[in-house]
Amino acid sequence: MASAHWSCLILALLSGLSQQLESFLEEKVHDIEVYSTKISCKVTSRFAHNVVTTKAVNQANASKEVSFDVELPKTAFITNFTLTIDGVTYPGNVKEKEVAKKQYEKAVSQGKTAGLVKASGRKLEKFTVSVNVAAGSKVTFELTYEELLKRHKGKYEMYLKVQPKQLVKDFEIEADIFEPQGISMLNAEASFITNDVLGSALTKSFSGKKGHVSFKPNLDQQRSCPVCTDSLLDGDFIITYDVNRVSPANVQVVNGYFVHFFAPEGLPMVPKNVVFVIDVSGSMSGRKLQQTKDALLKILEDIKETDYLNFILFSGGVTTWKDNLVQATPENIEEARTFVRGIEAAGMTNINDGLLRGISMLNKAREENTVPERSTSIVIMLTDGDANTGESNPSKIQENVRNAINGKFPLYNLGFGKYLNHNFLESMALENNGFARRIYEDSDANLQLQGFYEEVAYPLLTDVEVEYPQNAILDLTKNTYQHFYDGSEIVVAGRLVDEDMNNFKADVKGHGAINDLTFTEEMDFRMEVTPESITLWNGAAQSTFSWMDTVTVTQDGLSVMINRKKNMVVSFGDGVTFVVVLHQVWKKHPVHLDFLGFYVVDSHRMSAQTHGLLGQFFHPFDFKVSDIRPGSDPTKPHATMVVKNHRLTVTRGSQKDYRKDINNGMKVTCWFVHNNGQGLIDGVHRDYIVSSLF
């Protein structure tokens, strides 16, 4: 029965998992109706929590096997999955890759229900599970997975594969995004649907820290044609967004853990010395070689004149365009184009000698100072097969390459097509501070190559190191990076020694195109306000504004808004707001000067322990006013107030209340206490005066 089968469910969670969301149900059997498919995504501070729920019913008179295929981002990890049949829920077990693979094969051979994750596309891995469903029974499949979104070309991308294979009555994708820094842009697009239909089925909005996207096509909007019964929902649904950046870095601390985001903008590009190591063996002939040449010609258009480059071609042997790296002058670029157009393919595959020649050329250029001192070196290798001449042992090739590079620069490996050892290329790249990408043999292969190059074409910093206070950190993720590329982001997470630490300093150091740079992020926000100016400190960084400015500054949950010549509104936490009002007097007045009024909005949100000159009045206290009588000014009567066991003389007057109208305030009547508040305030007024403050 299904329960026995499901108890043996195994999931192989691959360790490599790259960018966002999923597919749905692949229905392979008649009479199985999928009536609901929903994807719910909650993103907080770039971390996505996703739940895929698909519901189906077996309309047949006999039991049927149903296969569910859900495609996941390669960088995701599964945290839970369940199968519910006729109201009974069967939990699954997540296993490590190799263990799961063996148990999966065993379960399948015994005819039991099992699930497996395997490669399926450019950005996705496919999770597949089959289950036997009795006649008339309902089944619900729920998969939960999580992912840290990476910034790519200036934005975060949530990638969904949409492929329900049939019309679904209740179909919805819903994403809620919360970013403490505030959301600067939010977009959604689909490759499988026209903009007109997408616009009618899609809603998206963002304001401040929150964003929302909902895609909910009805049955007619899902049809491939007005009278068709098959679905046009077959392709990619992509949500992209970015966040506001007041400073290059942002540190968020929660429950003793911190996440440090770093993405500076506007820095000059560091010149690069790039060697392209290209496989021109016989298997590259035809379309693959032509697409490679098209991509290289396009890349040559984007090479900066401050860059240096060379081409290394390998088949059975190795040939080079030039003996040494050359500067990307217009003359050299034109000569390079001629060389690329003339590349032909033939022979075997000597990966080892091709890579070592390119690495040697970069090392020589640095040793002989023929490239700029403030430049960075990169090796980009493209191959479509395994080494089959020269050194062909993958482990030995890795060792040779690792020793030759010796940690000095990164290696990026591009694997063209499916007939190659991608694990070998990936492992070799990772141990040399790079990464590997698979180039798929489609019509857009040249665009895939260009897209990869754009990721590494604009280095802004090299040898980046993120430093934190000594003895303040218990655990830390990777905090050194060989390169920071424009449009990307460095993310470091860790655990604090002191969970109640209220100030936190982080230094990011790196080599720039012109000089060495240090970025300091300190969670120690202070301000000084006078009738002349407003000064804000974020750690060592200082910003000064005048009362003539209109500006808003936000940092780590704190917002400061200056309204020209009127007031300053300070908000933090869960709605705690203060208003500082500029009271101006006649500039030639012989006695009075401009002064500031400090007002509290929603003071009930403050802690009962809050004290000080204003804090003592944030919560109700008992008082009684009586004996109202005329004063020296007929418009301002006197009275007697009993408060805190004191009998005080008070005078009726007016003041502005800024709780409902922060900009202008509302005039309200109030009682003024004489003698500097004596008898009303705790202590005496001198207790609240700081001498020599200015």
pLDDT on residue 256: 75
Per-residue pLDDT band at 229 (split at 50, 70, 90): confident
pLDDT on residue 321: 95
Which residues have a Cβ under 8 Å from the Cβ of 117 and sit 6 or more positions away? Answer: 11, 12, 13, 14, 72, 78, 125, 126, 127, 128
Q: How far, in Å, CA of 694 to CA of 45, rounded?
A: 40
Residue with the larger pLDDT of the pair 110 and 420: 420
Q: Is the pLDDT of residue 114 over 50?
A: no
DSSP string, 402-428: HHHHTTSS-EEEEEESSSS-HHHHHHH
| DSSP-H helix ranges across 173-255 | 195-201, 219-222
DSSP symbol at 604:
G
pLDDT digits (tens, 9 = 90+) for 439-461: 877 767 778 788 888 888 899 99
Quick check: helix, strand or coil at residue 102?
A: helix
**Highest mean pLDDT: which range of 303-317, 381-395, 405-419, 566-580:** 303-317
**H/E element, 578:** strand 576-583
Q: Is the pLDDT of residue 63 over 90?
A: no
| DSSP-H helix ranges across 33-160 | 97-109
pLDDT digits (tens, 9 = 90+) for 591-637: 778 888 877 776 566 666 677 777 777 777 888 999 999 988 888 99
Q: Is 94 exposed, middle or buried (0-12, 13-18, 19+ CB in 10 A)?
A: middle
Per-residue pLDDT band at 417 (split at 50, 70, 90): confident
Place of tokens 């709780």: 659
Mean per-residue pLDDT, 190-203 = 80
**Amino acid identity at 44:** T
Six-digit token string for 92:
């699954």
Q: How far, in Å, CA of 13 to CA of 126, rounded?
A: 10
CATH number for the domain formed by residue range(s) 272-405+425-430+443-457: 3.40.50.410
Q: Is the pLDDT of residue 18 over 50?
A: no
632, 616 in Cβ contact below 8 A?
Answer: no
pLDDT digits (tens, 9 = 90+) for 127-165: 777 777 788 888 888 888 898 898 988 899 988 878 787
CB atoms within 10 A of CB 569: 21
Q: How far, in Å, CA of 463 to CA of 408, rounded?
A: 10
Per-residue pLDDT band at 3 (split at 50, 70, 90): very low
Q: Is the pLDDT of residue 582 over 50?
A: yes
DSSP symbol at 440:
P
Q: How many CA atoms lie less than 13 Å away from 76 in the CB half-sphere?
A: 34
Q: How far, in Å, CA of 694 to CA of 691, rounded?
A: 8
Quick check: helix, strand or coil at residue 434?
A: coil
Q: Is the pLDDT of residue 111 over 80?
A: no
Mean per-residue pLDDT, 75-88 = 83
Q: What is the average pLDDT score of the chain?
A: 81
24, 70 in Cβ contact below 8 A?
Answer: yes
pLDDT on residue 60: 85
Q: Is the pLDDT of residue 271 over 80?
A: yes
pLDDT on residue 109: 59
Q: How many CA atoms lie less than 13 Å away from 584 in the CB half-sphere?
A: 10
List of long-range contacts for 575-584, beta carbons under 8 Å, 24+ apart? 575/602, 575/605, 576/602, 576/605, 576/606, 577/601, 577/602, 577/662, 579/658, 579/662, 580/529, 581/656, 581/658, 581/665, 582/531, 582/547, 584/531
Domain covering 32-243, topology: Immunoglobulin-like (2.60.40)
Which residues have a Cβ under 8 Å from the Cβ of 632 and sit 6 or more positions away? Answer: none
**Quick one: what percent of the chain has pLDDT higher than 90?**
30
Quick check: helix, strand or coil at residue 302?
A: helix
Q: How many CA atoms lie less than 13 Å away from 475 in the CB half-sphere?
A: 7
Which residues have a Cβ under 8 Å from the Cβ of 384 and sit 6 or more positions away? Answer: 279, 281, 283, 284, 288, 415, 416, 417, 419, 420
Q: Could you tell me the CA-to-CA distances from 75 to 43, 262, 412, 513 in Å, in that order?
A: 15, 20, 18, 32
Q: Is the pLDDT of residue 190 over 70?
A: yes
554: left (phi over 0), alpha (psi -120 to 50) or beta: beta
Report the candidate in 40, 64, 67, 61 with the shortest Cα–Cα distance to residue 51: 40
Q: How far apart are the first and last CA of the chain?
A: 82
Per-residue pLDDT band at 377 (split at 50, 70, 90): very high
Residues making up the chain, counted from first to last: 694
Report the candidate in 656, 679, 562, 536 with the shortest Cα–Cα distance to residue 601: 656
Q: Where are the domains of the chain?
A: 32-243, 272-405+425-430+443-457, 461-522, 524-606, 608-693
Q: How far, in Å, CA of 3 to CA of 5, rounded?
A: 5
pLDDT digits (tens, 9 = 90+) for 333-352: 999 999 999 999 898 999 99
Q: How far, in Å, CA of 546 to CA of 541, rounded?
A: 17
Q: Is the pLDDT of residue 638 over 90?
A: yes
DSSP symbol at 268:
P
Mean per-residue pLDDT, 471-499 = 87
Q: How far, in Å, CA of 37 to CA of 216, rounded?
A: 10
Six-digit token string for 101:
């693979």
